[in-house]
Amino acid sequence: MAGGTLDHKCPNCDAVLKFNPHGQNWVCEYCQSKFTREEIDAQEAKKGHVLNEETEADKLEKDAEGMDVYSCPNCGAQIVADENTSATFCVYCRSTAILKNKLVGKFNPAYVIPFQKTKEDAIEAFKKIGKGRPFMPKLFSSKQNIEDMKGVYIPFWLYDFGVSGALEADAKRISSWTSGNYRYTKTDTYRAYREGNMTFHKIPVDGSTRFNDDMMNSIEPFDYAGLQTFTHAYLSGFLAEKYDVDSDAARKGAEVRAKNTATSMLQESIHGYDAVSVLKADHNLELLKNEYVLLPVWMLNIQYQGKIYMFAMNGQTGKLIGDIPIDKKKVAIWWIGITLLLFGILTVIWLIGGLL
C-alpha cells in the first residue's frame, strides 16, 4: 500500500481486479478469475485496511496549482488529481487509483449503488437516442461523436423527512341550469382546511458542484434496493468524486421537493369540487436521516459541429438524458408537411360531405 492509493489485486496473479457491472463481481484482467463481494471483503480484512482512519501522511504533496499528487501503486508514476477526485486512473499504466484520504472520515460513503451498465451499454443507448425524436440532426447520435465518456460514482446526499403540513384552499362547486330564456350559474364557495403528516425516504441531491443539478435530477430514480454497504473495491475501473456541497447546503433542494409534494398531497384530498385554489400552505420538516452515498452515472460528452453536448446515463437503470440539438430545417419541413396534410384531409372530408 504505497502513496495513499488503493488498488485491488488478484490473489492468484497480482494483476488488477476490476468491477464487472453485468456480473456484479470482480474479474481479474489477466487470469479471468472471478471474485464475489464476500471474497473481496475477506481479502480486504486480511490486508488490514482501516479506511475510517484519516491519515494526512497518505497524501504525498500538493503541486504548485494546488492539485493533490499521489504515486501509482502499480507503476510508481505520479498521479495528479484535483481535491474532489476520489478514484481515478494512472495516466501511464491505466490502472485504477483509489485515493484513500478522499474516502475516509466524513467522506466515507455509507452506501454505494454499483454500476450495472457498462460503457458498451451506454454507447448502445446513445446510438438509439434518436428513436421517437425526429428533429435530431441526422448524424448526431453516431458513435463517432462520442468524444469522451466516463463512468463516475457521483456523491449524493439522501434525505429522509417527516413532514407535517397545513393547507388552506378555496373550493368552488359550480352548477348551472337553464330556465326560460336565462342560463343560471350557481357558485358555492367553501374554505377547505387540511392538515396531515407524511414521510419521505431518500430524496437524492447531488453533492458535487461539478455536475449539473438538473441533469442529476433528470436521471432519477435510482432503485434503492441496489444500495450496498460501501467498499472501495466497487470503484475499481471507474472514476469517483467526493462531495463539495455539505449536507446542510444540499438539504434545501430536497426540502423544496418534499414541501411541494406535501402541498399536492393535501390538495388532492379536497374532493367533490369543480375548482380548488390553494391560499396558503405551511409545512414543518423534520430531518429523520441523512446519508452520504455514491451513485453510478455514465457521463458522455458529445461533440457535434464544434459544440459539446453533455449526456448522463443512470449507471443502474440505463436511463439516458441530455438535451439534443434541434434540426430547424426538419422542424420546418414537418410543420409545413403536417399542416398541408391536415388541410388536405379536411378538404377531402369536405368534398365527401358535398357528395352525400
Q: Which residues here bind other proteins, judged by CB under 8 A?
A: 132-136, 166, 170-171, 178, 181-203, 212-215, 217-218, 220-221, 254, 256-258, 260-261, 264-266, 269-270, 321-326, 331, 334-335, 338-340, 342-343, 346-347, 350, 354
Give the CA distances from residue 236 to residues 63, 96, 151, 214, in Å, rounded to whole numbers and listed in that order: 25, 6, 11, 27
Name which of 107 and 135 has its Cβ closer to other proteins.
135
Name which of 74 and 263 has its Cβ closer to other proteins.
263
Q: Are 172 and 187 in contact (CB under 8 A)?
A: yes
Buried/exposed code over 70-85 (b: 16+ C-beta within 10 A; e: otherwise): bbbbbeeeebebeebb
Name which of 50 and 352 has its Cβ closer to other proteins.
352
Minimum distance between the CB of residue 128 and other proteins, rounded to whole angstroms?
A: 14
Name which of 22 and 328 has its Cβ closer to other proteins.
328
Q: Rounded to whole angstroms, how far apart are CA atoms 244 and 249?
A: 10
Strands (E), 207-319: 228-229, 239-241, 275-304, 307-314
Name which of 104 and 321 has its Cβ closer to other proteins.
321
Minimum distance between the CB of residue 286 and other proteins, rounded to whole angstroms?
A: 13
Smallest Cα–Cα separation from 296: which of 238, 232, 233, 217? 238
Burial class (CB in 10 A: 0-12, 13-18, 19+), 206: buried
Minimum distance between the CB of residue 59 and other proteins, rounded to whole angstroms?
A: 36
Minimum distance between the CB of residue 141 and other proteins, rounded to whole angstroms?
A: 12
Q: Rounded to whole angstroms, how far apart are CA atoms 227 and 222?
A: 9
Smallest Cα–Cα separation from 301: which of 291, 293, 311, 292? 311
What is the C-alpha end-to-end distance of the chain, expressed in Å? 90
Minimum distance between the CB of residue 245 and other proteins, rounded to whole angstroms?
A: 16
Minimum distance between the CB of residue 126 and other proteins, rounded to whole angstroms?
A: 12
Smallest Cα–Cα separation from 256: which of 170, 161, 167, 321? 161
Name which of 66 and 354 has its Cβ closer to other proteins.
354
Proportion of the chain in helix, strand, coil states, percent, rounded to 5: 25, 40, 35
Q: Rounded to whole angstroms, how far apart are CA atoms 335 and 307?
A: 26
Name which of 44 and 168 has its Cβ closer to other proteins.
168
How open is the CA angle 139-145-147, to the nearest 5 degrees? 170
Minimum distance between the CB of residue 162 and other proteins, rounded to whole angstroms?
A: 9
Name which of 1 and 279 has its Cβ closer to other proteins.
279
Beta strand 111-112 with 275-304: parallel, antiparallel or unpaired?
Answer: parallel
Minimum distance between the CB of residue 166 and other proteins, rounded to whole angstroms?
A: 8
